[in-house]
């Protein structure tokens, strides 16, 4: 200890200089000039802004899996007209402030043709004006806010939006389960609230009574109080506007309370991680899948096989699947631009907007409408059973 | 030392103002604009914490209040930027004064917890008062500022604006600290009873410190809202309050130039270490610990003339900050 203080005193004067030196060094390292490769072999770059550390890091890790498979596919075929495709990752922790910094960094990086991300609506919107000014595509493939693409014609959405998801979920609750009384539990975030609003609207229009709606915070871990309250109201079904981490906890604690009811959840719980976290407790959960299990397209079968071989897991989740599709959409837009002999940010935007009947995994085919959202989103009911998601068929 | 100090400040000011001649990079401007916003926030918290010894963990709430107020009056009522900026400062200052009265019954760590509670109340209100604040998704399309018919759009313009704003706030706090109210605040920090015994009206000075501190936070919030054109409750959480606190600690408690430097370093630092991807926050944390350990008076602590009394006072505050 004494030595430490002596050392501190000895270097007190030069310390600020030293610190400034370290920061300066960091700044120098931060601006590496793009390596001028052979002109014809210069890679095609896309940026990825997402949560690779912090609370949502696990979703970012899923993205990386989807991207890696897409990159391997294209680059093993020799890339686009001989140019390899590469992605540049920047971590935003899906925090709006960092998303804006990354957007500034990406938009002045002339190598980047388009950007994938962000994970949350608020992080996406925080960056949108910056990408919009740079005329750069921001393909936010996870957020499902109905107005996500409102900030401008460079913002694209790949997930079926909340109104569509809620309609499908309400449909499952009513048509399949015949539920008359519904309780809603949701995350108190833009996502959770959108699920709640749309489910309440869809259910009420079909004459289902909403017995209660309960909000909880993303940091909540103990749901017993809420569950006890909901249990006392005896609903036929409970709808969740949650991610898989909280869904697993909620269903485990519901089992502890001996609260037997039918749980349904938004498609955000569709991940094998649900079973690792929730075990047997999540059996019987009904949700929607963006991809069709019952009759998988050849592309989906191929992707699932590659995914299982590579990551030793049974099936891909929504996040990896949408990441895979998102990158392939950008590659396709770049390929179309190259065909027309002009590859730049604007051509990628225009080609992406013109995407029509593009064979994909998270949907059978992808067509963007005038609002740069899915023209015909399809969702499929699935049920969690003994560690797997199975297509749900009415018993 | 003395000579170095008189030379350093004008040189730094000159360099900061001349930067637009040297730099064309909008990303660098963005980082510097954010540094400017945090410099204002840090100077405000410095007045509370470093000068008056009041441990507030709710600074991000005042920052957010200013941002939401400014966004709402421009979006809903169509106010121009300058009146909105000023009104945000005044409104936030007013709220700060109102909060100060009950908060001042609390001391030390209890004040910290009380203000932390205020921060959470603000964030939860912003999330839940959907019709007013847009809920968790926040407010979009906040208009860009316009000054005397000249639209502010380029990063350089925002940069020059934040420099002017920063300079004004710096000047304000410098005046406060250099005058008798500033010395009264330091007296309160060092020993409340002693200060009272020589006729310092403790409540009055403490409330005034709160008002000025939240006034500056409101200005920063308003500027932030119009610069980003989008705000959401995620921007004003408890983590923000802690980062501002870290900036004050880094710059040195009660040290005004230190506050500016602390803000600049902690905004630029994580950006500078971006090439290390996920590990950058590790570097950020460990360098903070190192600074607190090796330079308890902040990075500019060495610049101060050291009288025994000032030294004692500083060490006491540094001790509080560590706990």
In tens, the pLDDT along A270-327 reads: 888 889 888 889 998 999 888 777 778 889 999 999 999 999 877 788 899 999 999 9
* CA-based nearest residue in chain B for residue A217: B124
**What's the residue count for chain B?**
323
Instruction: Determine, for residues A108 and B27 on separate chains, whether the beta-carbon distance falls below 8 Å.
Output: yes
Q: State what percent of residues in chain B have pLDDT above 90.
A: 43
A4 or B59, which is more confident? B59
pLDDT at A33: 39
Same fold, A39-160+299-377 and A163-289: yes
Task: State which of A114-128, A155-169, A199-213 shows the largest mean pLDDT.
Answer: A114-128
Going by DSSP bridges, is the β-strand pair A112-116/A155-157 parallel, antiparallel, or unpaired? Answer: unpaired
A274 or A5, which is more confident? A274
The partner residues of A91 in beta bridges, in order of sequence, read A50
Least confident of A127-136, A165-174, A380-389: A165-174
* CA-based nearest residue in chain B for residue A28: B272
Range B142-155 average pLDDT: 85
Q: HEC profile for A13-81?
A: CHHHHHHHHHHHHHHHHHCCCCCCCCHHHCCEEEEEEECCCCCCHHHHHHHHHHHHHHHHHHHHCCCEC
Average pLDDT of every residue of chain B: 85
pLDDT at B200: 87
Name the pLDDT band for B302 (thresholds 50, 70, 90).
low
- For residue A105, the chain B residues in CB contact (below 8 A) are 27, 274
In tens, the pLDDT along B83-112 reads: 999 999 999 999 999 999 888 888 888 999
Range B37-55 average pLDDT: 91
Token output for A298? 């050849």
Instruction: Determine, for residues B136 and A91 on separate chains, whether the beta-carbon distance falls below 8 Å.
Output: no
Q: Where are the alpha helices (DSSP H) in B198-307?
A: 202-228, 238-251, 256-272, 280-294
- Strand ranges in A254-353 using DSSP code E only, listed in sequence order: 262-265, 286-289
- For residue A64, the chain B residues in CB contact (below 8 A) are none
String of DSSP letters for B84-139: HHHHHHHHHHHHHHHHHHHHTTS-THHHHHHHHHHHHHHHHHHHH-HHHH-GGG-B
Instruction: Determine, for residues A23 and B136 on separate chains, whether the beta-carbon distance falls below 8 Å.
Output: no
CA of B215 to nearest chain A CA: how many angstroms apart? Answer: 22
Q: Indicate which CATH number applies to the domain containing B281.
A: 1.10.3470
What is the three-class DSSP state of A157?
A: strand
B301 or A351, which is more confident? A351
CA of B193 to nearest chain A CA: how many angstroms apart? Answer: 33
Cα–Cα distance for residue pair A126/A140, rounded to 1 Å: 12
Task: Please give the CATH architecture assigned to the domain spanning A163-289.
Answer: 3-Layer(aba) Sandwich (3.40)
The partner residues of A358 in beta bridges, in order of sequence, read A366
Which pTM does this prediction carry? 0.81
Cα–Cα distance for residue pair B93/B87, rounded to 1 Å: 10
Cα–Cα distance for residue pair A189/A78, rounded to 1 Å: 43
Task: Please give the CATH architecture assigned to the domain spanning A39-160+299-377.
Answer: 3-Layer(aba) Sandwich (3.40)
- For residue A1, the chain B residues in CB contact (below 8 A) are none
Cα–Cα distance for residue pair A285/A264, rounded to 1 Å: 6
This model of the complex carries an ipTM of 0.80
CA of A25 to nearest chain B CA: how many angstroms apart? Answer: 9
Lookup result for tokens 């409340």: B192
Q: Which domain holds residue B42?
A: 2-18+26-322
Give Cα separations from A378 to A161, A181, A374, B51 (angstroms). 11, 26, 9, 61
Domain ranges within chain A, ordered by starting residue:
39-160+299-377, 163-289
* Partner residue opposite A126 with nearest CB, options B228, B281, B295: B228
In tens, the pLDDT along A150-161 reads: 999 999 999 998
CA of A211 to nearest chain B CA: how many angstroms apart? Answer: 20
> Of A242, A67, A193, B240, whose CA–CA distance to A253 is shortest?
A242
Burial class from Cβ neighbours inside 10 Å (0-12, 13-18, 19+) for residue B41 reads buried
DSSP state of A368: B
Range A27-35 average pLDDT: 44
Instruction: Determine, for residues A30 and B294 on separate chains, whether the beta-carbon distance falls below 8 Å.
Output: no
H/E stretch holding A238? strand A237-241
Most A CBs within 10 Å, among B136, B144, B233, B289, to test the A interface: B136
Give Cα separations from A289 to A172, A193, A220, A363, B16 (angstroms). 12, 20, 26, 10, 54
Name the pLDDT band for A141 (thresholds 50, 70, 90).
very high
Cα–Cα distance for residue pair B208/B214, rounded to 1 Å: 10
Q: How many domains does chain B have?
A: 1
> Of A379, A158, A378, A157, whose CA–CA distance to A286 is shortest?
A379
Instruction: Determine, for residues B140 and A27 on separate chains, whether the beta-carbon distance falls below 8 Å.
Output: no
pLDDT at A395: 67
The partner residues of A49 in beta bridges, in order of sequence, read A90
DSSP state of B253: T
Instruction: Determine, for residues A27 and B138 on separate chains, whether the beta-carbon distance falls below 8 Å.
Output: no
Name the pLDDT band for B315 (thresholds 50, 70, 90).
very low
In tens, the pLDDT along B152-204 reads: 888 888 999 999 999 999 999 999 988 888 889 888 888 888 988 988 888 89
> Of A243, A246, A242, whose CA–CA distance to A223 is shortest?
A246
- Chain B residues within 8 angstroms (CB to CB) of chain A: 25-27, 29-31, 34, 127-128, 130, 135-138, 140-141, 228-230, 232, 234-235, 265, 268-269, 271-275, 277-278, 280-281, 287, 291, 293-295, 299-300, 302
**Are B244 and B38 a contacting pair, CB within 8 Å?**
yes
* Partner residue opposite B26 with nearest CB, options A108, A122, A126: A108
H/E stretch holding B187? helix B180-190
Lookup result for tokens 């043709």: A113
CA of B103 to nearest chain A CA: how many angstroms apart? Answer: 26
- For residue B30, the chain A residues in CB contact (below 8 A) are 100-101, 104
């Amino acid at each position: 200890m004494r030595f430490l203080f002596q050392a501190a005193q000895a270097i007190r004067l030069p310390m600020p200089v030293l610190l400034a030196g370290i920061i300066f060094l960091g700044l120098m390292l931060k601006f590496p000039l793009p390596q001028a490769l052979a002109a014809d072999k210069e890679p095609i770059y896309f940026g990825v802004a997402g949560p690779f550390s912090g609370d949502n890091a696990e979703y970012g890790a899923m993205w990386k899996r989807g991207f890696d498979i897409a990159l391997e596919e294209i680059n093993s075929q020799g890339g686009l007209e001989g140019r390899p495709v590469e992605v540049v990752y920047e971590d935003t922790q899906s925090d709006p402030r960092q998303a804006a910094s990354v957007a500034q960094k990406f938009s002045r990086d002339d190598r980047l043709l388009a950007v994938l991300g962000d994970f949350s609506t608020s992080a996406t919107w925080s960056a949108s004006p910056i990408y919009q000014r740079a005329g750069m595509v921001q393909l936010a493939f996870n957020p499902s806010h109905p107005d996500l693409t409102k900030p401008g014609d460079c913002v694209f959405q790949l997930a079926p939006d909340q109104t569509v998801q809620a309609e499908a979920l309400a449909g499952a609750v009513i048509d399949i389960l015949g539920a008359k009384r519904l309780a809603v539990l949701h995350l108190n975030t833009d996502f959770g609230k959108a699920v709640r609003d749309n489910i309440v609207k869809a259910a009420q229009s079909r004459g289902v009574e909403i017995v209660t709606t309960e909000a909880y915070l993303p940091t909540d871990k103990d749901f017993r109080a809420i569950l006890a309250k909901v249990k006392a109201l005896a609903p036929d079904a409970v709808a969740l506007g949650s991610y898989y981490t909280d869904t697993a906890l909620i269903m485990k604690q519901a089992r502890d309370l001996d609260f037997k009811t039918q749980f349904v959840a938004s498609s955000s719980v569709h991940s094998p991680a649900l079973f690792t976290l929730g075990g047997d407790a999540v059996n019987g959960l009904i949700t929607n899948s963006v991809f069709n299990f019952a009759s998988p397209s050849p592309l989906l079968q191929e992707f699932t096989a590659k995914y299982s071989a590579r990551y030793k897991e049974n099936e891909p989740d929504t996040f990896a699947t949408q990441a895979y599709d998102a990158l392939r959409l950008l590659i396709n837009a770049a390929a179309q631009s190259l065909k027309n002999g002009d590859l730049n940010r604007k051509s990628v935007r225009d080609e992406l907007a013109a995407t029509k009947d593009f064979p994909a995994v998270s949907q059978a085919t992808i067509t963007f409408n005038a609002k740069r959202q899915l023209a015909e989103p399809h969702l499929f009911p699935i049920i969690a059973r003994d560690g797997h998601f199975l297509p749900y068929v009415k018993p | 030392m003395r000579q170095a100090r008189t030379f350093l400040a004008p040189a730094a000011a000159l360099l900061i103002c001349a930067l637009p001649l040297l730099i064309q990079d909008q990303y660098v401007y963005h980082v510097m604009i954010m540094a400017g916003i945090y410099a204002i926030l840090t100077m405000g918290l410095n007045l509370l914490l470093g000068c008056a010894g009041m441990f507030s963990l709710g600074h991000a709430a005042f920052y957010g209040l200013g941002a939401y107020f400014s966004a709402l009056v421009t979006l809903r009522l169509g106010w121009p930027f300058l009146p909105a900026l000023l009104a945000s400062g005044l409104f936030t200052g007013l709220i700060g004064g109102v909060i100060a009265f009950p908060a001042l019954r609390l001391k030390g760590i209890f004040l910290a917890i009380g203000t932390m509670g205020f921060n959470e109340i603000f964030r939860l209100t912003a999330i839940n008062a959907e019709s007013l604040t847009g809920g968790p998704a926040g407010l979009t399309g906040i208009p860009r500022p316009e000054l005397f018919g000249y639209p502010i759009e380029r990063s350089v313009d925002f940069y020059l604006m934040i420099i002017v704003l920063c300079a004004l706030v710096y000047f304000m706090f410098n005046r406060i600290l250099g005058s008798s109210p500033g010395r009264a605040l330091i007296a309160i920090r060092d020993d409340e009873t002693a200060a009272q015994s020589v006729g310092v009206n403790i409540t009055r000075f403490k409330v005034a410190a709160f008002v000025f501190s939240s006034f500056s936070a409101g200005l920063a919030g308003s500027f932030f809202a119009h610069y980003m054109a989008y705000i959401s409750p995620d921007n004003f959480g408890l983590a923000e309050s802690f980062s501002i606190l870290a900036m004050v600690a880094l710059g040195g408690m009660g040290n005004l130039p230190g506050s500016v430097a602390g803000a600049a370093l902690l905004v630029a630092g994580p950006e500078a270490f971006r090439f290390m991807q996920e590990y950058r926050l590790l570097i950020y944390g460990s360098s903070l610990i190192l600074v607190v350990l090796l330079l308890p008076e902040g990075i500019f602590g060495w610049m101060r003339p050291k009288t025994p009394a000032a030294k004692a006072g500083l060490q006491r505050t540094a001790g509080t900050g560590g706990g």
